[in-house]
Amino acid sequence: MTTTDADTNGTTAAAAACHTDGPKTALGTGPDAVTAHDLGIHGYAQQKDAHLKRLRRIEGQIRGLQRMLEEDVYCIDILTQVSASTKGLQSFGLQLLEEHLRHCVADAAVKGPEAIDEKVKEATKAIERMLRT
């Protein structure tokens, strides 16, 4: 499985490798360094409430689209709402990516060159997926 292939639970191998409960033997730097990341603290943890609020707002926009169709609203008005919803999701995705870079990639920097390479590759693939949308 590559770092971006989903397993049967819908998680990725990278996420599993990123948040394992393996042995933690040292503090500081190097491959055995223990960081908040190792303890399962995600990069978005501090902004979780704000992210949920934002996603609920986007969810409301999608429901608005459904109502617009049910009410036979003019197609250009619906397309305007589609654009706003899409922009909201893209903005959310970029924020999450930034938090990933600050948290997971920074964590890898403490662990050494191999970990950095893995996280940079993972982030690059995530950016590629985002650009395809």
Q: What is the per-residue pLDDT for 45?
A: 75
- Structural domain containing residue 68: 47-131
Number of folded domains that form the chain: 1
CATH number for position 108: 1.20.58.1000
Residues 64-120 pLDDT 10s = 999 999 999 999 999 999 999 999 999 999 999 888 888 888 888 888 888 889 888
Number of neighbours of residue 106 by Cβ within 10 angstroms: 15
Q: Answer whether residue 32 is part of any domain.
A: no
* Contacts of 3 by beta carbon, 8 Å cutoff, 6+ apart: 12, 13, 14, 17, 118, 121, 122, 125
Q: Answer whether residue 8 is part of any domain.
A: no
Q: Answer whether residue 25 is part of any domain.
A: no
Q: Answer whether residue 104 is part of any domain.
A: yes
Q: Answer whether residue 14 is part of any domain.
A: no
Helix (H, G, I), strand (E, B), or coil: what is residue 66? helix
Q: Answer whether residue 35 is part of any domain.
A: no
